[in-house]
C-alpha cells in the first residue's frame, strides 16, 4: 500500500520531538519510537487489509497511551508550577524588602511583622503600597504568608492556620483582603472544597475583638452630618450565628436542646418548639465565658487607649440568659478592674439595649466605642462606615485579649470588578487607603511594642498624608463619587490607582 500524504505528515510530525510538548522526555521518546514503527509499517504497505487495520489500531493505541502520559506529565508540571508560583510570590516580596533604598535613611525595626497576602485587585495594590509607601521608609522584616485563594487550596488551608500561629508568635499581623469562596468561586478556581473565611479562621485562633474605625476626611460628605468624631465599632469575633448549627425541619415533630455534662451528670433537655402543619427551621448557637471575658477586656482597654466612653449593646430583655450573660460579665469586669481608670480619664461604661443604642448613635456626634455582639457588629460596622461616606475609608484591627497581639486589615473586599479591568490591561481607580492603613496600624503597634517612637511617627505621618491628599482634591473615583455623585464624575476629578499612590508619597515627602 502506498503511503498517503496524511500518513507521511504523521511520520514527519512524530519524527520531530521539539514540535510536541515534553519532546525530550524519555517516556515520550520511547512511545514515539514505538508509534513510528507502526506508522512505517502502515505507510510502506501491508500484506493484507487486515494487517493494515491491525497496524492502524496499534497506532491509535499508542497515541492514546502517549496522550495519557502527557496528561500525567501536565498535571505534575501544573503542581510544580503552583509551587514555583508561590515561591515566586515570596521571592518578589523578599526582593521588594531587600531592594537597595540607599538613597534615603530608613527606619530600623527590631522585630518582624507577619504579612498575609491576599487576592485580586487588593493583591496588586498591596505590592505597590509596599514598593512605594512602606519599604522606601521602613526597614522591617516581614514573615510572609500567601493567603491568596489558589495557595490556600493547595495547602488545604493550612497556610491560614500557620499565619495565625505566626501572629501569636510575633504579635503583629498585617493582612491584605482575601476571597471567601462561594459556589461560584469554587467553580472559577476549581477548588477542592468551599474553604472557610480566612478572617474567621484567624479570629477563632486568636480570639479578641475586631475594632473598626472610620477615616475622616473633611472633603468627603457624611450621610450623617452630625458625626463630627469617629465611632469605633468593637465586634466580638467569636461564636453566635457564625458558629451556629441550623436545621431545616421537613415534617411535624418536636425540636429539643440538650446538654450532656462531661462529668456524667444528668442531661439537661429543653423543649424548643413543636412543629405542626408542616416543617420550618431551627438553630442552636453558643458562646463561652472565656471568649466573652476576652471581648470585655479588649473593649475596656481600647476605650482607655482612645480616651472615649464605652457602650455595650445587647437584647437582654428578650434573650435574658444568653445576652444577659454578656451584660453580667461586662459589668463584673468593669467594676472589678476598669472603673477607677475610666473615672480618672473622665469617661464611662454603660450597657444599653441594641435598639436604643442604634437611635442614640444616630443622634450623637460620635466620639465613643460601641461594643457589639458578633452579628450586631457585622451589621453596624457597615452602617457606620457608610454613614461617614465610604466603606473604602474604614480601618479594621483585631485586638487580642492580651492587649499585645493585633492583626490589621482592610475592611473591604478584593475589588473583583476592578481586577477584571486590570486583567484586560485597563487602568483602574481603586481606593488603596484602607490597605495603607492596615500597614500603618500594624507598624504603629509594632513601634509601641518595641518602644520605637520613630516608627510610630512614620505611621501617623503616612496616615495624615493619605487624608491630606484627599482633602487637597487628589483622590480615587469612588471618593470623587461621594462628592459629585458617581454619574457626574469627570476624568479630571480623580486619579488612577498608581497615580494616587504617587500623590500620597509626594504628600508624605513634602510634610
> Per-residue pLDDT tens for 65-82?
555 555 555 544 444 454
Q: What is the per-residue pLDDT for 208? A: 81
Q: Are residues 123 and 56 in the same domain?
A: no
Grid coordinates in use for 438?
492596615
pLDDT over 90 (residue 254): yes
Q: Are residues 105 and 196 in the same domain?
A: yes
Domain stop point among 236, 264, 284: 284
In a domain, 363, yes or no: no
In a domain, 478, yes or no: no
In a domain, 128, yes or no: yes
Which residues line the annotated binding site? Answer: 178-180, 185, 197-203, 212, 235, 355, 363, 378, 413-418, 431
pLDDT band (50, 70, 90) for residue 34: low
In a domain, 289, yes or no: no
Q: Could you count the other beta carbons within 10 Å of the beta carbon of residue 128?
A: 15
pLDDT tens, position by position, 407-421: 999 888 899 999 999
Q: Are residues 140 and 190 in the same domain?
A: yes
Q: What is the per-residue pLDDT for 161? A: 97
Q: 429: domain range?
A: 99-211+394-471
Q: Are residues 409 and 461 in the same domain?
A: yes
In a domain, 457, yes or no: yes
Q: Are residues 51 and 137 in the same domain?
A: no
Q: Most confidently modeled of 72-86, 244-258, 381-395, 456-470?
A: 456-470
Among 108, 105, 141, 220, CA closest to 509: 105
pLDDT band (50, 70, 90) for residue 277: confident
Grid coordinates in use for 339?
472603673
116/163 Cα distance (integer angstroms): 7
Q: Are residues 180 and 254 in the same domain?
A: no
Q: What are phi and psi of 147, to 5 degrees?
A: -95, 15
pLDDT band (50, 70, 90) for residue 30: low
CATH of the domain at 146: 3.40.718.10
396/211 Cα distance (integer angstroms): 6
Q: Are residues 177 and 269 in the same domain?
A: no
Query: What is the pTM (predicted TM-score) of this model?
Result: 0.75
Which residues line the annotated binding site for NADP(+)? Answer: 178-180, 185, 363, 413-418, 431
pLDDT tens, position by position, 136-161: 999 999 999 999 999 999 999 999 99
Least confident piece of the model among 55-64, 134-143, 306-315, 365-374? 55-64
In a domain, 74, yes or no: yes
Q: Are residues 70 and 132 in the same domain?
A: no
pLDDT tens, position by position, 185-229: 999 999 999 998 999 899 889 888 999 999 999 999 999 999 999
221/483 Cα distance (integer angstroms): 6
Q: Are residues 68 and 144 in the same domain?
A: no
Domain stop point among 262, 284, 306: 284
In a domain, 177, yes or no: yes
In a domain, 322, yes or no: no
Which residues line the annotated binding site for Mn(2+)? Answer: 355, 378
Domain stop point among 78, 113, 143: 78
> What count of Cα atoms within 13 Å lies in the side-chain half-sphere of residue 350?
11
Q: Are residues 403 and 446 in the same domain?
A: yes
For strand 406-410 and strand 253-259, is the pairing parallel, antiparallel, or unpaired?
unpaired
In this prediction, residues 107-130 reach a mean pLDDT of 97
Which residues line the annotated binding site for D-threo-isocitrate? Answer: 180, 197-203, 212, 235
3-state secondary structure of 72: helix
Q: Are residues 106 and 190 in the same domain?
A: yes
Q: What is the mean pLDDT of the chain?
A: 85
Q: Are residues 104 and 207 in the same domain?
A: yes
**Count of domains in the chain?**
3
Higher pLDDT, 500 or 49: 500
Burial 243-267 (b: 16+ CB within 10 A, else e): eeeeeeeeeeeebeeeeeeeeeeee
Q: What is the per-residue pLDDT for 64? A: 59
Amino acid at each position: 500500500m502506498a503511503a498517503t500524504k496524511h500518513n507521511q505528515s504523521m511520520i514527519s510530525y512524530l519524527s520531530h520531538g521539539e514540535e510536541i510538548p515534553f519532546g525530550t522526555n524519555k517516556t515520550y521518546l520511547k512511545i514515539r519510537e514505538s508509534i513510528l514503527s507502526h506508522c512505517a509499517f502502515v505507510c510502506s504497505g501491508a500484506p493484507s487489509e487486515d494487517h493494515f487495520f491491525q497496524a492502524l489500531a496499534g497506532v491509535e493505541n499508542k497515541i492514546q497511551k502517549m496522550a495519557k502520559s502527557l496528561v500525567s506529565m501536565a498535571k505534575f508540571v501544573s503542581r510544580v508550577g503552583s509551587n514555583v508560583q508561590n515561591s515566586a510570590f515570596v521571592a518578589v516580596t523578599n526582593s521588594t524588602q531587600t531592594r537597595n533604598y540607599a538613597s534615603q535613611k530608613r527606619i530600623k525595626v527590631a522585630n518582624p511583622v507577619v504579612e498575609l497576602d491576599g487576592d485580586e485587585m487588593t493583591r496588586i495594590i498591596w505590592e505597590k503600597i509596599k514598593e512605594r509607601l512602606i519599604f522606601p521608609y521602613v526597614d522591617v522584616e516581614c514573615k510572609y504568608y500567601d493567603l491568596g485563594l489558589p495557595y490556600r487550596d493547595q495547602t488545604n488551608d493550612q497556610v491560614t492556620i500557620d499565619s495565625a500561629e505566626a501572629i501569636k508568635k510575633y504579635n503583629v499581623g498585617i493582612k491584605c483582603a482575601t476571597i471567601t469562596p462561594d459556589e461560584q468561586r469554587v467553580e472559577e478556581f476549581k477548588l477542592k472544597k468551599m474553604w472557610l473565611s480566612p478572617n474567621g479562621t484567624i479570629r477563632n485562633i486568636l480570639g479578641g475583638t475586631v475594632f473598626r474605625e472610620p477615616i475622616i476626611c473633611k472633603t468627603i460628605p457624611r450621610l450623617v452630618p452630625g458625626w463630627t468624631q469617629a465611632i469605633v465599632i468593637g465586634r466580638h469575633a467569636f461564636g453566635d450565628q457564625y458558629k451556629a448549627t441550623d436545621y431545616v425541619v421537613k415534617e411535624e415533630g418536636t425540636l429539643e436542646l440538650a446538654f450532656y455534662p462531661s462529668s456524667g451528670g444528668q442531661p439537661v433537655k429543653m423543649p424548643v418548639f413543636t412543629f405542626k402543619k408542616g416543617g420550618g427551621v431551627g438553630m442552636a448557637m453558643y458562646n463561652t465565658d472565656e471568649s466573652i471575658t476576652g471581648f470585655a477586656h479588649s473593649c475596656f482597654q481600647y476605650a482607655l487607649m482612645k480616651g472615649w466612653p464605652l457602650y455595650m449593646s445587647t437584647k437582654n430583655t428578650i434573650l435574658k440568659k444568653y445576652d444577659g450573660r454578656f451584660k453580667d460579665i461586662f459589668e463584673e469586669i468593669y467594676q472589678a478592674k476598669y472603673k477607677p481608670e475610666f473615672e480618672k480619664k473622665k469617661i464611662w461604661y454603660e450597657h444599653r439595649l441594641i435598639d436604643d443604642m442604634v437611635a442614640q448613635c444616630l443622634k450623637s456626634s460620635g466620639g465613643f466605642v460601641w461594643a457589639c455582639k458578633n452579628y450586631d457588629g457585622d451589621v453596624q460596622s457597615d452602617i457606620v462606615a457608610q454613614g461617614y461616606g465610604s466603606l473604602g475609608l474604614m480601618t479594621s484591627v483585631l485586638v487580642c485579649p492580651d492587649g499585645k497581639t493585633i492583626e490589621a486589615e482592610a475592611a473591604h473586599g478584593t475589588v473583583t470588578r476592578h481586577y477584571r479591568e486590570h486583567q484586560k490591561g485597563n487602568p483602574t481607580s481603586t481606593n488603596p487607603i484602607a490597605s495603607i492603613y492596615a500597614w500603618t496600624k500594624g507598624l504603629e503597634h509594632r513601634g509601641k511594642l518595641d518602644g520605637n517612637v520613630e516608627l510610630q511617627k512614620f505611621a501617623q505621618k503616612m496616615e495624615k498624608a493619605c487624608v491630606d491628599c484627599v482633602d487637597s482634591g487628589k483622590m480615587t473615583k469612588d471618593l470623587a463619587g461621594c462628592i459629585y455623585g458617581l454619574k457626574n464624575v469627570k476624568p479630571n476629578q480623580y486619579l488612577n490607582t498608581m497615580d494616587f499612590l504617587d500623590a500620597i508619597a509626594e504628600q508624605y515627602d513634602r510634610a
